[in-house]
Structure 1
Amino acid sequence: MKNDLVLRVIAKLLIPFILLFALYVQFHGDFGPGGGFQAGVIAAAAVVLHALIFGLAATRRIVPEPLVETMLAAGVLIYAGVGIAGLLLGGNFLDYFVLSGDPVYGQQRGIFWVEVGVAVTVSGVMLKIFYMFAARGRDEAAEDA
């Protein structure tokens, strides 16, 4: 598929809109269906589409594996950081109302950051799984040669 001009042009047009939709799902998750999990999967799907059209090597240059592994840890740290911030501010773990002087705003702030952590982690996990499966056949072929 790397040499198919139509697929390359369509992918270049669609991938930014897919990522934009992932952001919409992330930020709209407080008010309707969606949130961190869905946004993370959609963002990872955009990267997988890039890999299918432009090749795994090109995608790994854009989203290298160390970045994906960092995303795995960073998302969990963001999630846990919100909980620890609640503890340090006098509430329970993941009690969002203490994150601001206004309890309602604190809830919104806490849920937003938890969803960001979930999106980063889910996207990282999906990409790590894809990279592992995509490289699996190549490693075995190299060992056989």
Structure 2
Amino acid sequence: MSDHLILRIIAKMFIPFILLFALYVQFHGDYGPGGGFQAGVIFASALILYTLIFGLKTAMRVVSPTALRILAASGVLLYGGTGVACMVRGGNFLNYSMLSDTPLAGQHLGIFLIELGVGTTVFAVMVMLFYAFSGRKGPEV
């Protein structure tokens, strides 16, 4: 892959913009289209592009499978923990109004935390699946 200089340069130029767009989709999710799932997939696509251009071993040094497992678990815990925090404060599971002094502030905080948990989990699982399938050898033709 070292002979594909143009692909490497273009990828290095585009990956930061893909990541920036993923962050925009993540943080704009409670005000318009987008949110955690879409942002997680876009974020994962940036790492998948990096893997396709620079190789699987290089990508695994950037984001290791262990880090991906921790991120996936952290996202699920953030999602569930938000619901449990609502219950501890006297509401129902995922009743965001209980997370703050005012219901509107609680709604914004709850949606933000839920979407962040979903985005983190989706990113990690998508990349783990890609790593798992890209490391396999196909049948010899």
The TM tier, using the shorter chain, reads over 0.9
Root-mean-square deviation (CA, aligned residues, Å) is 1.4
Q: CA deviation at 1:3?
A: 2.4
Q: Which residue of 2 aligns with 1:130?
A: 130
- Find out whether 1:102 has 2:102 as its counterpart: yes
Q: CA deviation at 1:71?
A: 1.3
In structure 1, what is the Cα distance between the partners aligned to 2:137 and 2:17? 31
Q: CA deviation at 1:2?
A: 3.9
- Find out whether 1:112 has 2:112 as its counterpart: yes
TM-score for both structures, normalised by structure 2 = 0.96
- Find out whether 1:36 has 2:45 as its counterpart: no
TM-score for both structures, normalised by structure 1 = 0.93
In structure 2, what is the Cα distance between the partners aligned to 1:40 and 1:68? 12
In structure 2, what is the Cα distance between the partners aligned to 1:137 and 1:70? 27
Q: Runs of 5+ in structure 2 lacking a partner?
A: none
In structure 2, what is the Cα distance between the partners aligned to 1:66 and 1:11? 25
Q: Which amino acid is 2:15 matched to? A: I
Q: Which amino acid is 2:50 matched to? A: H
Q: Which runs of 4+ in 1 moved over 4 A?
A: none
Q: Which residue of 1 aligns with 2:68?
A: 68
In structure 2, what is the Cα distance between the partners aligned to 1:66 and 1:36? 22
Secondary structure of 2:135's aligned partner:
helix
1:15-65 Cα offsets, whole Å, 9 max, x none, are 011000000000000111100000000000000000000011110000000
Q: Which amino acid is 2:85 matched to? A: A
Secondary structure of 1:128's aligned partner:
helix
Kindly, what percent of the aligned residue pairs are identical?
55
Q: Which amino acid is 2:25 matched to? A: V
Q: Runs of 5+ in structure 1 lacking a partner?
A: none
In structure 1, what is the Cα distance between the partners aligned to 2:92 and 2:102? 17
- Find out whether 1:4 has 2:21 as its counterpart: no
Indicate if the aligned counterparts of 1:27 and 1:35 stay in contact, CA closer than 8 A.
yes
Q: Which amino acid is 2:62 matched to? A: I
1:108-133 Cα offsets, whole Å, 9 max, x none, are 00000000000000001100100000
Q: CA deviation at 1:136?
A: 1.3
Secondary structure of 2:137's aligned partner:
helix
- Find out whether 1:77 has 2:60 as its counterpart: no
